[in-house]
Amino acid sequence: MEPQVHENDPATVNPRSPLSGSRRHDGNLGMMLQTAAEQHADRIALVYNEIRISYRALERAACSLGNHLRSLGLGKGDKIAVMLPNCPEFVIAYFGIQKIGAVAVTLHIQSTPYELTYLLGNSDSRCLITQAELAGRFESIRDQLPLYTHLITTESFEKPSQFKDIIEKGPFTISIPVLKDDDPAVLIYTSGLTGKPRGAVLTQQNLYSQSELLRTVLHSDETDIGLAVIPFFHSFGAVANMLAPLRIGAGVVLMERFNLDAVFGLIESQKVTYLAAVPRLFLGMYFHEKAGNYSLKSLKVCITGGAAMPVDFIEPFEKKFGVRILEGYGLTEASPVASFSRLDLPRKPGSIGIAIPRVTAKIVDSDGNELPRGTVGELILRGENIMKGYYKDQEATARVIKNGWLYTGDLARMDEEGYLFITGRKKRMIITSGFNVYPREIEDVINLHPGVQESLVVGKKDLIRGEIVKAIVVKKPSAQVEERELLKHCRAYLSSYKAPREIEFAEKILPPKESGMEH
């Protein structure tokens, strides 16, 4: 089933030159890995614990999985969900899905059964690839998903599993179907203003164009090695730490769970040359008391995105570790990178850099008219990175893509040299540790509790996470609900990064501006 966005509606067509349509896109993601494997067959693509996987082995595994998926009756346009941490199986699954022209639905590993019911159902997923220990969440809701037909599970990569049997079985070559620029490749769910996540349909060209960024922006090559700390199911993690390095034959060190000593240790032992992560990681590195025990001499550059890096910490970080830190900006709907700082251009404190190649940025007023340089307005974007639309939601697509321009909901200004500066948000949203959280979704869950009359979710500033989620709650008359009970309730329904970290009880709720809280 093709994503149900309307290609003849100017509000949903991805504009580029030439316009999206029938042109075949030979640079699709499945071909990208095949080409890399031909050019860098014996180079190490993935490092995972003590395991080293060459480009040839990665290509063979992806082809074997693709052949198995095809034997199950899955093919071009079918949705296949992947709920895995940063492990070899994620990379193999991602590319195995691309090999048959199917669509990878990448899911947060913290997703609860409540969230999975919606995500798997809304995406029309027919198969789920996940770890055996996570499969129980799916099994509890299986009867509610009529389109679901297949479950593929894996243990740790070193152990026998259904997944391992599949990738070792072969055949190890595969015929990739004809794919167009605007054929969907990945479906990523981003929290919605209305309370339900919306699936951003990212196309073959969206992601193939993003895979060029390490080479075009940072001048990286096959000798570079990245440390994959950000989850691959996050659009930033997938592009910066998987697609971009694999496009150029570079190496990727996989890190399944966040641990600062492990970050330092892997940079030193694996001679990591670049690190792309959210500000929380870089701030954690700066404050880590054991940082001096490690050598970071291999590290050439750090890339920060997902949230704003506190300006006051950029120069101290660079002095402490002797490495340049570059800031970029993006959002899932832009696949995700839209602007980036440059090593060879002057730095402007607080700037998110300039628009990346083949992307245009403008600052506009509420009517969509371009504003003079230096004036604050809404940042809008146009280019080959803009999503095709929201899956099965023409109305939501039309609200954010107008005449080919993506309206980001972020307030910004642009100086005379094209440098962008984010100044605030038009939309009510919280960014915590690089993840976007929309208050409405959390409020809907809090309000399910029988002791709650109403709630308001706000963002509270936090140095390490950027913001944390805080809920203001009004109890029903005579209700005895306590903070601990409400927190437990939220964690049963929501991924942990969405669940409030603080709850404040109040007699009544003021509108966000009157409450004095950040929002």
Task: Residue 442: give its domain's CATH number.
Answer: 3.30.300.30
Q: Say yes or no: 128 and 266 in one domain.
A: no
CA dist., res. 474 & res. 495, Å (int):
23
What is the per-residue pLDDT for 487? 95
CA dist., res. 47 & res. 253, Å (int):
5
- Residue 508 pLDDT grade (very low, low, confident, very high; cuts 50, 70, 90): very high
Do residues 97 and 120 lie in contact, with contact meaning Cβ atoms separated by under 8 Å? no
Q: Say yes or no: 403 and 456 in one domain.
A: no
Q: Say yes or no: 239 and 159 in one domain.
A: no
Q: What is the mean pLDDT of the chain?
A: 91
Q: Say yes or no: 386 and 411 in one domain.
A: yes
Q: Say yes or no: 131 and 234 in one domain.
A: no
Q: Say yes or no: 221 and 362 in one domain.
A: yes
48 domain residue, yes or no? no
Q: Does 519 score more than 90 pLDDT?
A: no
3-state SS class at 474: strand
Residue showing tokens 């349909």 = 201
What range does the domain containing 506 cover? 430-515
3-state SS class at 302: strand
What is the per-residue pLDDT for 501? 95
Q: Say yes or no: 254 and 346 in one domain.
A: yes
Q: Does 518 score more than 70 pLDDT?
A: no
191 domain residue, yes or no? no
140 domain residue, yes or no? yes
20 domain residue, yes or no? no
pLDDT tens figures, 288-318? 999 999 999 999 999 999 888 999 999 999 9
* Section 180-199 average pLDDT: 89
Task: Residue 414: give its domain's CATH number.
Answer: 3.40.50.12780
* Section 256-267 average pLDDT: 94
pLDDT tens figures, 240-249? 999 999 999 9
Q: Say yes or no: 370 and 276 in one domain.
A: yes
The number of domains in the chain is 3
CA dist., res. 453 & res. 474, Å (int):
6
φ/ψ of 103, rounded to 5, equals -115, 120
Q: Does 51 score more than 60 pLDDT?
A: yes
15 domain residue, yes or no? no
398 domain residue, yes or no? yes
3-state SS class at 38: helix
What is the DSSP pairing of strand 274-277 with strand 225-228?
A: parallel
Cβ-Cβ contacts under 8 Å for 95 (sequence gap 6 or more): 29, 30, 33, 58, 62
Do residues 126 and 147 lie in contact, with contact meaning Cβ atoms separated by under 8 Å? yes
Provide the CB-side half-sphere exposure for 427 (13 A, CA).
20
Q: Poorest-confidence range of 16-25, 400-409, 417-426?
A: 16-25
How many CB atoms are closer than 10 A to CB 262? 14
Dihedral sign computed on CA atoms, order 49, 251, 108, 138: negative
- For the chain, what percentages of helix, strand and coil (3-state, to nearest 5) are there? 30, 25, 45
Domain boundary among 401, 425, 449: 425
Q: Say yes or no: 305 and 419 in one domain.
A: yes
- Residue 238 pLDDT grade (very low, low, confident, very high; cuts 50, 70, 90): very high
